[in-house]
Amino acid sequence: MEQIVKFNHVTKKYKNITAINDLSFSIDSNDIVGLLGPNGAGKTTIIKLIATLTYPTNGEIYINGKVNKKKNPIISCIMEGNRSLYWKLTVKENIEFLLTLKGTDYKAKREKIEELLQEFNLISKVNELVQNLSRGMQQKLSILIALLEDSQIILLDEPTLGLDVSTLRDLEVLLPKIPSKMNKSLLITSHDMRFVEKVCNKIMVIQKGQLITEKDTDEFKNIIDTKSGTIKVKDFGGLDKELNEHKLSYEYEKETINISFESLSQFMDVLNICKDRGEIIEFNYGQLKFEDLFLEMIK
């Protein structure tokens, strides 16, 4: 698959602060990549580097195989806070003005504009001032305009901040369609783990400007789908010996033992051991949450 973006040992320093440290990764055509990390990890710096809002201290960034040294028309960038819109203009005027500003002939895209306005549920708002729209509608308008530009990659910095549940669900449906329908790649920074899991096909986790892990979303889901839980048992005596033999984790709590299991087979082992040596008081059986997996990775 063709590489749209490639970071080659990129470092970015602000005076004595290293925001990005020897970072290498790539984004392929038609990828939707979720970029996760705690506050200050370097997520927004990566967006700014790709959009040439700042430049590397060391290393190279390639866009379509060429070093990225100046503003590139194949990149659209939507920063957090809807700063790309003009609030005193209507929805229609924003579309026409911003596309013209980017050198895109909006008249040749009237049919596509109409189609996207319908799909994004903004058709009834075309003559509404942007300042009167909800934050969710403003975000959808920013994404709609980016889709109409002649770009190959769209950068979305924290697109879910402040959105209502309805808009969030709309984006979860709309964004995954973009690569196949419009031949565009997306890079999304977010703190919303559920959103990233729903929308992205690849996930990167960074901390302190370094790549911690990079996996397909399905690989993350396979980890998450591992059943886990705990069982609280009243010990009749000798239970700890059996648990040790089966290499099961446990801890004492007064007159009970809390036993942990990480798979269905371990769960069945615990039930068999406790049948004669203890009384099950309580058990919790669920799935590892996406947030828990993320927190484990950045420890």
Please give the share of the chain, as a percent, with pLDDT higher than 90.
51
Residue 160's φ and ψ, nearest 5 degrees, are: -100, -5
Separation of first and last alpha carbons in the chain: 33
Question: What CATH topology corresponds to 225-297?
Answer: Alpha-Beta Plaits (3.30.70)
Higher pLDDT, 150 or 201: 201
Q: Return the pLDDT at 297.
A: 58
Most confident among 130-134, 164-168, 212-216, 235-239 (mean pLDDT):
130-134
pLDDT at residue 96, as a whole number: 95
Structure confidence by residue, pLDDT tens digits, 210-225: 988 888 988 877 655 5
Contact status, residue 62 vs residue 74, Cβ threshold 8 Å? no
The residue with greater pLDDT, 108 or 271, is 108
pLDDT, residue 93, reads: 97
DSSP 123: G
Cα dihedral sign, 228-229-233-239: positive
> pLDDT digits over 246-293, tens only?
888 888 887 888 888 777 677 777 777 776 677 777 766 555 556 665
Query: Which pLDDT score, from 0 to 100, does residue 176 have?
Result: 95
Please give the residue that has the higher pLDDT: either 294 or 235.
235
pLDDT at 125 over 70: yes
Q: Which comes out higher in pLDDT, residue 60 or 274?
A: 60
Question: How does the average pLDDT of the chain come out, rounded?
Answer: 87
45 or 69, higher pLDDT: 45
Q: Please list the residue range(s) of the chain that carry CATH number 3.30.70.1150.
A: 225-297
Q: What is the mean pLDDT of residues 194-207?
A: 90
Both tokens of 193, joined, read 């783990």
How many CA atoms lie less than 13 Å away from 266 in the CB half-sphere? 20
> What pLDDT score was predicted for residue 67?
94
Is the pLDDT at 294 greater than 80? The verdict is no
- Tokens 């003009």 sit at which residue? 86
Kindly state which CATH superfamily the domain 3-216 is placed in: P-loop containing nucleotide triphosphate hydrolases (3.40.50.300)
Percentage above 70 pLDDT, the chain: 90
| pLDDT for residue 299 | 61
pLDDT reading at 6 higher than 80: yes
- pTM tops 0.85: no
71-93 per-position pLDDT tens digit: 888 999 998 766 789 999 999 99
Q: What is the pLDDT of residue 285?
A: 59
Of 83 and 51, the one with more pLDDT: 51
Number of helices (H) and strands (E), helices first, in the chain?
A: 11, 14
pLDDT at site 250: 87
pLDDT (0 to 100) of residue 267? 74
Residue 211 bridge partners (DSSP):
206
Query: What's the pLDDT tens digit per position in 152-189?
Result: 999 999 988 888 888 889 999 999 999 989 999 999 99
Pinpoint the residues of the chain covered by CATH 3.40.50.300. 3-216
Contact predicate 6/64, CB 8 Å: no
pLDDT score of 8: 97
Q: b/e string for 257-278 if b means 16 or more Cβ within 10 A? A: bbbebeeeebbebbeebbeebb
